[in-house]
Amino acid sequence: MLGKSDEHQIKADSPIPAPGFTFELMAKHAVDFWLTSEDLPDPENRVTVENGQIKITYSSNNEKGHELLKAELIKALKASGKFESFLFKGIYFSKGMDIASPAHQNGTTKMGLDPETSVVDTNCKAHDLENLYIVDGGFFVSSGAVNPALTIIAMALRVGDHLKNTVLKS
């Protein structure tokens, strides 16, 4: 659940015009969900620098998985018995988030043991630079469609302990 939509939000997302009271009525009876899924790891989805310019190469994937997730939500809502007049007859206001609205980028500095296929080792140390540790969401291969902040914090604390106990003692 993600807050409660109002008539202004529903009107802005509506693909068809309608009288104002319609959106107010819809908002009053709506059950709002934020349904999110992830793109699966794809080595072709990447950020590069070409001719001094940042280039983003991106193709969404996992649309079938997202459709299955939506179907499961609908099934659960129907099974709850709380929705006597469940309305899902093609009227579904949905906005996907495109490449212009990223939130939790990850996979940009892949973790691994092989410098040929990864950027950082298991302690988030860059393979190619002796004194660079990268502790952000880049080490994730994918986010699992959830906010990765707590996992990033935990990894930062782990890397901090590694630095304190090994690198700084030598």
Give the pLDDT band (50/70/90) at residue 7.
Answer: confident
Give the pLDDT band (50/70/90) at residue 88: very low
Bridge partner list, 133: 125
Q: What is the largest CA-CA distance in the chain?
A: 72
Q: Within 13 Å and on the Cβ side, how many CA atoms surround 149?
A: 2
Higher pLDDT, 162 or 45: 162
Distance CA 57, CA 108 (A): 12
Q: Which residue is associated with the tokens 């973790």? A: 111
How far is Cα 58 from Cα 60, in angstroms, rounded to an integer? 7
Report how far apart, in Å, the C-alpha atoms of 16 and of each of 4, 13, 47, 58, 94 are. 21, 9, 37, 30, 13
Tell me if the pTM is above 0.75. no
The C-alpha angle 154, 160, 161, rounded to 5 degrees, equals 95
Asked whether residue 140 carries a pLDDT value surpassing 90, the answer given is no
Q: Percent of the chain scored above 90 by pLDDT?
A: 26
Higher model confidence: residue 127 or residue 86? 127
Confidence of residue 96 (pLDDT cuts 50, 70, 90): low
pLDDT confidence bin for 141, thresholds 50/70/90:
confident
89/86 Cα distance (integer angstroms): 9
- According to DSSP, the residues that pair with 54 across neighbouring strands are 49
User: Which has the closest alpha carbon to 40: 56, 59, 62?
Assistant: 62
- 8 φ/ψ angles, rounded to the nearest 5 degrees: -70, -40
- Give me the pLDDT at residue 64, please: 92
2-16, 76-90, 137-151: which range is least confident on average?
76-90
C-beta neighbour count of 159 within 10 angstroms: 20
**Cα–Cα distance for residue pair 72/75, rounded to 1 Å:** 5
Q: Is pLDDT of 115 > 90?
A: yes
The pLDDT value recorded for residue 2 is: 57
